[in-house]
Structure 1
Amino acid sequence: MNGIFGFIRSFSTSYIMMLILEFLEAGLGAGAYSTAFVLAMELVGPKGRVFGNTLINAVYVLGLMTLSGLSWWLQDWRMLIRIIYAPAFLGFTYLWILNESVRWLLSKGRTNEAVDILKKAMKMNKIDITDDVLSPLSELEDNKSKEVPKEVENKSSFVQALKSSVIRKRVFVCSFLWITCTFVYYGLSINSVSLAGNKYLNFMLVAFVEIPANFVCLLVLDRFGRKRTLITTYVLSACLCISLSLIPKDQKWLPLVIYLSGKFSITVAYSSVYIYVSEVFPTSALYYDNLPAIFFGSMTLVASALVFTLPETINVPLPNTVEEAEKLSKNSPK
């Protein structure tokens, strides 16, 4: 979806057409990174998660720097889009060269396929494991056809999560952590072109600083834990971002240094959140088909309730001062 809608977007004949294609690409293709990350985390053991995450993010940074370099060189957005989206079509080859997640196959009861992939991995890595080690998986396949009690079959992990106050609180906190990381990380990336100097070079530097940030993740996450790392990097990011507003405008290099330091710290936080969130929630084979609709409806319901706290402004002059804006609530008809 990224490749299809991205490539077609280069032929846009109007701004509206470009917006529609951009929306479709994000709506149907934005899950590519998250899916790749989940697959990678399911392919490695606990000790390999941080290292795997570091490798993924390092390649991600190379993509960002390539984007900046190509933009600087081509100076043609249509040609740029065609070049950067063309490799996405190589994803079709994954149908033949990429193995499915063993954890996912097991969760779906496709045990024989999971065992075949494990045997292929053992052969590739020249590891000899006896059939006794894999026999429990074969037993799962044999027991798959046995009758499952109705209360277990109908059990929903979503309902279980709703009943757990610990999970509810964790969802709220982790959601806020993720929103904060996304807001600051992409905000700093996009806003880098407004800094003094060459905008392409600035964007490239802001991307490059993620490489040492991800290697710092590799060093600190397993040594100091997830919580300490997250708290430290969030506080550091806050201090650095706020300090940007205090620097005199005549300073030349200091704003860029602090800006890059802020991107460095939020990158460490972002990488840590990816790993942390994947570890604090259970992996379940059960799912709830109507979960997306419930989320959509819940969000709009909350939004409608929040509107009650705002004043009605029909046929009301635009306020010019804070006092006039405050009076809107006092004069609003019930």
Structure 2
Amino acid sequence: MTDYEAATAFLGEWGRFQRQVFFFACMTVIPNGFVGLSVVFVADTPPHRCLVPAQINLTAAWRNSSIPPEGEGREASSCSRYKLDELLSFSERGLLPGVDVNMSNVPKEGCLDGWEYDRSVYISTIVTEWDLVCDQSWRQPLTSSVFFCGVFTGSFISGQLSDRYGRKIVLFVTMAVQTVFTLIQVFSPSWAVFCALYFVVGMGQISNFVAAFVLGTEILGPRVRIIFSTAGVSLFFAAGYMFLPLCAFFIRDWRMLLLGLNLPGFLYVPFWWFIPESPRWLLSQGRVEEAEAIIRDAAKKNKTEPPTVIFSPLQKDAPPEEKKAHNICDLIRSRNIRRISVTLWLVWNTVSIAYFALSLNTANLHGDAYFNCFLSAVVEIPAYTLTWVIFQWCSRRPSLFSSLFTGGLFLLLIRFIPAHLSSLAIALEMTGKFAVTAAFAIVYAYTAELYPTVLRTTAVGTCSMASRIGSITAPFFIYLRSYSVSLPYILMGSLTVLTGLLSLLLPESYGMPLPDTITHMQRFPGCCQKTPYTLTHIEEGENTAERKT
């Protein structure tokens, strides 16, 4: 299968067939932009204070003074109130707060009667509906972490299923799972049920993205593949992300928001007839007739004449490595692929921490939450465009390093910005988000170039699975704001800079054909090798002989 691209060169690079695959595969990625990040609005915590029941007969002065101030800003407490029995006693005696009574001596108690929430921004969120505040505030970041646990599980399962049963079937099954379970989520009676359904939605979300990404990468030609894997899927993802704050601005109830975001998912059903299976994958499974049928149909759409024999006998008699079933263990079986895999897992993990922590933090930034979320989505557009330009003319390894190092540096600079310069801090954070987003797009496409066809979806899925350790912890990076506002930026910035240095150990894939078998993979060069490495025909023969023995 080493001459697949040569065998299908007669199709051209950008005919009707390629445009159809490019557009429809990218379209399937749009829901991924808002499904996971909808938690920014669905689980946001509005200002709140302890509820003082209306039946408690307090004067207006004592009711207004029932919440104690706290913190350096002496703002009203969100989780405590003055003891109502004491206030009622003072009120009945005609005493005035702060005049006749020293409020610092009045005992306090928790919010025994619940909370009163500010409804000026949201009609309802899961936080206001199930009181995920104060002693239960840990449940709010855990909600996002449960989703990313589902993403972690989906990454582990879907890659292997896709390599075994096909890209197309996994793509559409997981799209259906994502849509149906999100709609069921709308009717959640409790936080626990919501999280259980959110876990399944997470499984479908990443599986859909990885399957679409790999399918398009394998079908499209070299030049169009670069556009698809960097700018294509990423820009459509960003379009979905930009749609989120626009939709949330007009729908302020969390149940109606989820319903409005996911009903369009049923429009993807007709896509089944427009997106073909990957011919590369079919060949790797020995299903040559099906692969040829797809290529001949593509030739008809492109108005080109296919040769009598598309795939040579060498390709039809695929070597044992291509026909045998591969699994996740193959990613660590040999020393070379193990080094590449472990390095990529660490890179993906850190990029995921930075990307999702910055995305989820938009509700905490100074100013309007909807505008900040939209701004966070908008900065991804030039980031993905830059990624496409970089991939066209630049080497992969220095591109990944520079984006990670730059992003980490800007995040570290935020801690030096005074509190009154909030606009400058937001500008630095968005610049860091820009660089981290570019790194995410680069590492996706870079990973697909390094691994062979027989393992590509498993590899991308496993790298995505490794990154979910980062995304699972990302909400708790934001939770650290309660201890120090600058602490999340220090941790994220340091990790991102160090990982940028680590990425310099990876092999270069610029200008290299996609590997189809494990023996076609490059060696892990570490710090010393400056030029790309490829196996010679002699070395391939030696590896084949070793496998037979």
For Structure 1 versus Structure 2, the TM-score category normalised by the shorter chain is 0.7 to 0.9
How many residue pairs match? The answer is 285
User: What does 1:158-307 align with in structure 2 at a 5 Å threshold?
Assistant: 161-284=331-454
Cα distance in 2, alignment partners of residues 183 and 19 from structure 1? 21
Cα distance in 1 between the residues matched to 2:330 and 2:181: 38
Q: Is contact 2:280–2:453 with CA below 8 Å preserved after alignment? A: no
Question: Partners of 2:453 and 2:290 in 1: how far apart?
Answer: 20
Displacement of 1:83 in angstroms is: 1.5
Aligned to 1:307: none
In the alignment, is the contact (CA less than 8 A) between 2:187 and 2:255 conserved in 1?
yes
Matched residue, 2:542: none
Cα 1:165/1:94, change in 2 over 3 Å: same
Partner Cα distance (2:340, 2:434) in 1: 26
Q: Distance in 2 between matches of 1:193 and 1:155?
A: 45
Alignment of 1:103 with 2:280, yes or no, is yes
2:57 equivalent to 1:57: no
Alpha-carbon deviation of 1:282?
Answer: 2.1
| Paired residues of 1:158 and 1:287 also in contact (CA < 8 A) | no
8 Å Cα contact 1:157-1:286 kept in structure 2: no
Matched, 1:87 2:257: no
* Counterparts of 2:383 and 2:434, CA distance in 1: 5
Matched to 1:190, the amino acid is: L
Q: Indicate yes or no: 2:195 matched with 1:14.
A: no
Within 5 A, what are the aligned runs for 1:116-135? 116-132=293-309, 134-135=310-311
Question: How far off its partner does 1:205 sit?
Answer: 0.4
Aligned counterparts of 1:9 and 1:161: Cα–Cα separation in 2: 36
Correspondence for 1:2 among 163, 175, 178: 178
- Amino acid of the structure 1 residue aligned with 2:410: L
The root-mean-square deviation of aligned C-alpha atoms, in Å, is: 2.8
| Structure 2 counterpart SS, 1:12 | coil
When residues 285 and 217 of structure 1 are mapped into structure 2, their CA distance, relative to the original with a 3 A threshold, is closer
1:70 lines up with 2:255 in the alignment: no
1:168 Cα deviation from its structure 2 partner = 0.9
Question: How far is 1:87 from its partner?
Answer: 2.1
Cα distance change of structure 1 residues 31 and 61 upon mapping to structure 2, 3 Å threshold: same
Measure the CA separation in 2 of the matches of 1:287 and 1:232: 26
SS in structure 2 at match of 1:204: helix
The offset of 1:52, in angstroms, is: 0.7
- Shift of the alpha carbon at 1:154? 6.6
CA distance in 1, matches of 2:432, 2:415: 13
User: Aligned AA for 2:380?
Assistant: E
Query: For residues 39 and 255 of structure 1, do their structure 2 counterparts lie closer, same or farther at Cα, with a shift above 3 Å needed?
Result: same
Secondary structure at the counterpart of residue 358 of structure 2: helix
CA distance in 1 between partners of 2:185 and 2:416 (Å): 41
Rounded to whole Å, the distance in 2 between the matches of 1:218 and 1:287 is: 21
Change (3 A) 1:236 1:285: closer
Amino acid at match of 1:38: V
The one-letter amino acid of 1:26's match is G
Point out the more displaced range, 10-19 or 201-210.
10-19
> Relative to 1, partners in 2 of residues 1:173 and 1:112: Cα closer, same or farther, differing over 3 Å?
same
Residue 45 (str. 1) matches residue 45 (str. 2): no
Structure 1: runs of 5+ lacking an equivalent: 300-334
Q: Residue 164 and residue 195 in structure 1: after superposition, are their counterparts in 2 closer, same or farther (change >3 A)? A: same
- What secondary structure does 1:235 align onto? helix
Report the Cα offset of residue 40 of structure 1: 0.9
Q: Is 2:209 the partner of 1:33? A: yes
Query: Whose helix proportion is higher, 1 or 2?
Result: 1
TM-score with structure 1 length normalisation? 0.78
How far residue 29 of structure 1 moved from its aligned partner, in angstroms, is 4.2
1:177-228, Cα deviation, whole Å (9 max, x unpaired): 1111111111101101111000010000000110000110111123121111
State the TM-score, normalized to the length of structure 2.
Answer: 0.48
Q: Percent identity?
A: 28
CA–CA distance in structure 2, aligned partners of residues 32 and 164 of structure 1: 29
